[in-house]
Structure 1
Amino acid sequence: MPLDKGKSKVPTFFRPKLPWATLNPSSQQTSDPYEPLPQSTRPQPPRILAVEIPLNVLRPVAFRVFTKKHNLTLKSDALALLCSFVGRRCGAEWRDSGAGEKLLDEVARQWRRNEGANGVLVDGGEGLKRVIRGLEVGGDSVGMSRETSFDITGVPSSALYDGGGGIGDIGATAQASELEDVEPCAYLKVVDAFSQPKFAYNPLKKQFEKAPKPSLLPPPQTKTQLFRTRYNLLHQRLLRTEAFQLPTFSTASSSSVNRLTPISNLLGRSGQSFLLFGMLGVSPSGLLILLDPSGEIVLDLSVATAIPEDGSWFTPGCFCILDGAFEETGKFTVFTVGQPSAERRATSAEVFGHVDFLGNGVTLDMSVSSGGQQGRILRNAEKSLEDVKHLFIGEVELDGKGTLEALRKVFSEYETEPPLVVVLMGNFCTVAMGSSGGSVGYKEYFDQLASLLQDFPALTSSSTFIFVPGDNDPWASTFSGGASTTLPRKPIPEIFTTRIKRVFTQSRNSNSVVWASNPCRIGYFTQEMVICRDDIFSRFQRNAINFKKPDHPMEDALSQPEATGDGEGGVDVETKNVRKLVKTIIDQGFLSPFSIPTRPILWDYWHTLSLYPLPSTLVIADPRMQPFVITYESCHVMNPGKLVQRRMARWVEYSPSIGKGKVCQVGF
């Protein structure tokens, strides 16, 4: 929806950055320094006496913040600049109060945002000076108290700092009235899988780096790099968990710390117990093996049990943790099998918070409380829009019985209060286009949908419609006959969409229909939503490895997803299946944790299927399962199921202001 040209509805931090004198004209006025300053409506912080901090005193604190926490190297001229800045801003109590360390952390985060993954070396040049000028707060040239300056969670949105020196070069105070004028569609971005920025993980630097543009015909080594990258991402995530962290000081109990052993180190150590981490696979002779970058080993699962019991699926292509013993025969006898534990989005932001994974100008740390003032303003604006809704409708078979009638009933529910986003997911025909005839009939299905949309001008003029294809949709279905095609897959071709585009053009909202890829992502303020249409539940059932039942069944409730909505309270078969599906996908950090023959993927586009860092919301459109909403490791997972089920229209309504969804249904 185009914005009103007469009045800007975009918060000030998204406006063009201007010099400090331009943003705050009142600061140009000269006055007698001995005259009393004008009274402010907010409490004035106490003045801090600047001190001079020696280099050798600040060096260990700066090393802990810049090098240990943010993987940055600090040069001597940069350290001298920081000594002057910290001494001027925090005073003599910079170390005892902790204000100096927090200020250095803000400097490091802003440096990461500005310089990206290539800015590992921090010097005292113009880049660091620009960061320091950005952190200077207008009107308080000497400094502010630690509670006022850095405790962002305690500052209301109407009391953010004046002027252009705030974190991230925020131009002016974000008043509550500005948040009310925010236009939500201005912060909505649909990211196609084939245009999504690609970041490759560097295991040596332990950082994400900008990767070259992917290709549909990459070199053969890209296939090997795909699994190596998945291994490195899960391995570094696993080593940062408490169970695998070595103690700071050597103690008697340090021998009980979990240690992962490479497969190549097992040679000559038969009869000993080890903890292995790698990917399950099948050898050319048909034996189940475990692979890691150092080698492979044959597995013996005759006595193996899964932890927790029946809590997740394990298939070839999944990464897992194995506890067992190395035998003289060269096999590895497995006792227990477990998933690599997932990592919350807030925890990932502490390490990779400077990266903008979607390319929409919002870094990862803006979605958490430590994201600075710019992130806080975005989150406040997001929460203030309580009436904004997103609709997710799955398996919209336009040639199916009752589908158009069900869509009419759903659209009628929101005619007076249109949602911001309406996502329609395939399959859009019951039979694959290649086996059901030509493309003329397929185009007629969308022409009928266009006729239906013409009856709802409020929706077509206010809502953004997103179409996500399925396996039966062209052109992939022409060659696959509806079988599993490669992921990601292209959007529905433009030849079938002309009539629907004409409907939105007539409603003067031609930019509000998006033909997206599968999967695709939606950026909304600080949230990241991943949408994928796949029959993943049945694929897990067909390829899952069966384990021996334990003598004493145990159920680890802490490792299970937290059920919300209709499934809360009872643990029936359907709820267990939902928990198994969600836990497996989130722990694997990948939308398709299968072998290449089971579910083909484009090697060079693996990043479009990655779920690390975890998104805010994950939509898995699987018509083989009942609709559900569930939360696991702070990631809200939803499945709209199938639209038509026994004269009932079902869909999921998502409220981004609270980050929760609910299953809706209505008879027709």
Structure 2
Amino acid sequence: MAPDPLRSKIVRTFKLHGLSLRSEGSTYLQSLLREADTSEADEALSRIIDVLSNLNLPSPVVDKTTLESAVSECNDDVQPENSDKMFNVVDIFNTPRYKYNYERKKLLPDTAPKSLFGCAADKARITKDRYWLIMQRTQRHDLFTPPVPGAISQSSKFVLQTVEQVLGQQGEHKHTIVLAMLVQIEEGKYFLEDSSSHMLCDLSAAKFHVGMFTEYTFVLAEGSYDDVNSVFRVTGVGLPPPEPPKITRNYFGNTNFFGGPSPTCVSSVQVLRDIEREKQDTMFVFVSDVWLDQQTVLNKLKTMFTGYSKHPPFAFVFFGNFVSGQSHKNTVNKMKAGFKALADILSSYPTLCSDSYFLFVPGPQDPGPGPVLPRPPLPASIVEPVTKRLARARMCSNPARVQYCSQEMVLFRENLINKMCRHCIKFPQRSEELHVHLAKTLLSQGHLAPLPLHAMPVYWSHDHALRLYPIPDLLVIADKYDAFSVSATDCLLFNPGSFPKSNFSFKVYLPAQKKIENCEIAT
């Protein structure tokens, strides 16, 4: 029997691009392209290959499931009114987990089970995975890439060494740079630790650069090893350089590391970028510390809703705490009453109820399973008055991940500046504002909680849900600290500030312009 020409073309096209197609996959493509003419089939195959090339495939062998995802991406006919594609709130407990494979130089899906109550192996994996993500990123930075043979000047290049390599150079007193984690293995003594070994370090003469340096922070330590006293004498401490998301994508393709329904990164979908540019008037309103038990706060929210009623924002994002004060005996009852009062107010604004999304992110003092991150959404029994009346209400986890068109947003309600300062080995130099130090630290560490687990507990098998890698387009840190905004490494980072404590100020984000606006409700 003569071979099917279409099947031969499919197999040949995949082979030309270094891919191998399983038999059920080729049969699936045959059924799809059977009625297409030659030019249409060639164009369809080309688009499918492009999508597969942008995926971080664990193997060159393509199965039917992967192929169906690629075909679905090619057939994506997103329309402006299709909010399912434009806007998604990601389930933080189902975000994809990837692990860096040093031998293959790739980020591969981590198939280890994710239990809420992790085992010892999950705890050990936290620091190891963080280390390799930062190490592979730092190694390809311009400052640390290997010298190019024949280049005129290599004076700006540095060589990264592991702790084990430094310990093996005893007697040479070589000046070197080590990427390692700061940790107290013995009380009152700091060590530099990486995947190879650990060594005692002397920070007394060290110059600390911009950033907040706490235990469990991965640092670039510059200095030399004193083999007589068995100590690494540090002269300078800095943070590993962050990596713009475009560079990350160049190395790992458009795999969706963020989560959500799309198999590829949403920034690679042209139709979403087009919609984003067209909707110049789209707004996200961010309000933190929405104390629903305070009548003054409810009155100011009503004033806000009145102002936006004629031009509804795309979304209101409300951060907790949703009850004032540190603790209350009747917190749950007060929250129920507060959400009912909020629902009553919103019922007077039908345009907002029908056109705007309402996102609620719990705060540190709100009812829940405790201070361990990530926190699940607010209990359904408390927010029922709002969810019953607002079809577009979304109860988010903390942190929350939100996708709007081609942009990825991370929303986090935590008093981070206070916690980071409290655990700093050396208080940041005030030549820079504290929020600049915070932004530099978070983006450098690629993580929302670069603190010891006793200071900021994390579910061991869900630590990946707090990663900032690749760096998102927008990072909102809702902190009780003064409002701020800063742009770094292709990321906008801002704090809306405490609504009741800052003269009822809040922030508005314009995605089409990637711009932050400061707003305040006049007293």
| TM-score bucket (shorter structure) | 0.7 to 0.9
2:31 corresponds to which residue?
none
1:212 CA displacement: 3.9
Within 5 Å, give how 1:471-620 maps onto structure 2. Answer: 471-476=364-369, 485-504=371-390, 510=391, 512-546=392-426, 576-620=433-477
In structure 1, C-alpha distance between the alignment counterparts of 2:263 and 2:342, rounded to whole Å: 38
Where does the alignment leave 5 or more consecutive residues of structure 1 unmatched?
Answer: 1-58, 67-72, 78-87, 90-103, 135-166, 173-177, 478-484, 505-509, 550-571
- What corresponds to 1:117 in structure 2? 57
* Inter-partner Cα distance in structure 2 for 1:76 and 1:667: 64
Give the Cα separation in 2 of the matches to 1:360 and 1:197.
Answer: 9
Question: Among residues 267, 275, 286, which one is paired with 2:167 in the alignment?
Answer: 267
The equivalent of 2:517 in structure 1 is: 662
**Is 1:315 aligned to 2:214, yes or no?**
yes
Query: Contact conserved, 1:488 with 1:519, CA < 8 A, in 2?
Result: yes
**2:289–2:319 Cα contact (<8 Å) kept:** yes
Distance, in Å, in 2 between the alignment partners of 1:183 and 1:416 is: 22
Moved more, 526-535 or 196-205: 196-205
Q: Answer yes or no: is the 8 Å Cα contact 2:211–2:428 preserved in 1.
A: no
Per-residue displacement from partner, 1:347-372 (whole Å, max 9, x unpaired)?
111122231124434466552xxx4x
The amino acid that maps onto 2:487 is T
Kept in 2, the 8 Å contact 1:182–1:381? The answer is: no
The answer as to whether partners of 2:86 and 2:272 remain within 8 angstroms in 1 is no
- Aligned equivalent of 2:202: 300
Q: Is the contact made by 2:374 and 2:399 (CA closer than 8 Å) also made in structure 1?
A: yes
User: Partners in 2 of 1:613 and 1:343 — Cα distance?
Assistant: 8
Change (3 A) 1:412 1:244: same
CA-CA distance at 1:107 after TM superposition: 7.5
CA contact (8 A) 1:393 1:651 kept: yes
**Aligned counterparts of 1:442 and 1:130: Cα–Cα separation in 2:** 45
Tell me which residue corresponds to 2:489: 633
- Closer, same or farther: CA 122–438 of 1 in aligned 2, 3 Å: closer
The structure showing larger relative contact order (alpha-carbon pairs under 8 Å, at least 6 residues apart) is 2
Q: Aligned partners of 1:542 and 1:128: how far apart in 2? A: 47
Alpha carbons of 1:391 and 1:273: their partners in 2 closer, same or farther (altered >3 Å)?
same
Corresponding residue for residue 280 of structure 2 = 386
| CA distance in structure 2 between the partners assigned to 1:248 and 1:75 by the alignment | 35
Instruction: After TM superposition, give the deviation of residue 75 of structure 1 in Å.
Output: 7.3
Q: Which amino acid aligns with 1:633?
A: T
- Aligned-residue sequence identity (percent) comes to 28
Using the TM superposition, give the Cα deviation of residue 448 of structure 1 relative to its aligned residue in structure 2, in angstroms. Answer: 2.1
The structure number with the bigger radius of gyration is: 1
What secondary structure is seen at the aligned counterpart in 2 of 1:266? helix
The verdict on how the C-alpha distance between 1:126 and 1:456 changes in structure 2, with shifts beyond 3 A counting, is: closer
Q: Is the 8 A contact 1:75 1:121 kept in 2?
A: yes
Matched-pair contact (CA < 8 Å) for 2:98–2:107: no
Q: Which residue of 1 aligns with 2:74?
A: 169
CA pair 193-366 structure 1, distance change in 2 beyond 3 A: closer
Mapped contact 2:372–2:459 kept (Cα < 8 A):
yes
Q: Which AA in structure 2 matches 1:516?
A: C
Task: Map Cα deviations across residues 428-455 of structure 1 (whole Å, 9 max, x no partner).
Answer: 112345x534632332222222222222
Partners of 1:474 and 1:639 in 2: how far apart?
23
Aligned equivalents of 2:462, 2:270: Cα separation in 1 = 32
TM-score by length of 2: 0.84
Please give the per-residue CA displacement for 1:161-207, whole angstroms capped at 9, x wherever unaligned.
xxxxxx953478xxxxx96x544565110013223233333333222
Aligned to 1:327: 226
Asked if the contact 2:69–2:263 (Cα under 8 Å) also holds between the matched residues in 1, the reply is no
Aligned partner of 1:455 among 338, 344, 348? 348
Change (3 A) 1:598 1:547: closer
Question: Is contact 1:651–1:664 with CA below 8 Å preserved after alignment?
Answer: yes
Match of 1:381, as an amino acid?
I
- Matched ranges for 1:392-403 at <5 A: 392-400=286-294, 402-403=296-297
Richer in strand (by share): 2
- Residues 302-329 of structure 1, C-alpha deviation per residue, up to 9 Å, x if partnerless? 111023xxx2111111111011000021
Question: SS where residue 402 of structure 1 aligns?
Answer: helix
Counterpart for residue 45 of structure 1: none
Alignment partner of 2:182 out of 280, 284, 302: 280
Taking a change above 3 Å as real, the CA distance of residues 321 and 410 of structure 1, as seen in their structure-2 partners, is same
Write the deviation string for residues 381-400 of structure 1: whole angstroms up to 9, x where unpaired. Answer: 11101121111111112224
Q: Separation in 2 of the partners of 1:209 and 1:263? A: 28
CA distance in 1, matches of 2:288, 2:57: 38
Note closer, same or farther for the CA distance 1:256–1:347 as it changes in structure 2 (3 Å cut): closer
Aligned to 1:141: none
Give, in whole Å, the separation in 2 of the partners of 1:334 and 1:248: 29
CA distance in 1, matches of 2:318, 2:65: 45
**Offset from partner CA, 1:599-652 (integer Å, 9 cap, x none):** 11111111110000000110100012x222221111011211111236x32111
Name the CA shift for 1:454/1:278 in 2 (closer, same or farther; >3 Å): same
CA contact (8 A) 2:178 2:220 kept: yes
The whole-number CA distance in structure 1 between the counterparts of 2:76 and 2:349 is 40
Secondary structure of the residue that 1:257 maps to in structure 2? coil
Counterpart CA distance in 2 for 1:421 and 1:278 is: 41
Residue 105 of structure 1: CA displacement?
Answer: 11
**Residues in 1 aligned to 2:403 and 2:113: alpha-carbon distance in whole angstroms:** 21
Q: CA-to-partner distance for each residue in 1:461-499, whole Å, 9 max, x for gaps?
A: 21111110011100246xxxxxxx111112111111121
Structure 1 residue 535: Cα displacement: 0.4
Change (3 A) 1:548 1:76: closer
Give the superposed CA RMSD: 3.4
CA distance in 2, matches of 1:548, 1:392: 28
Contact 1:281 1:288 in 2 (8 A): yes
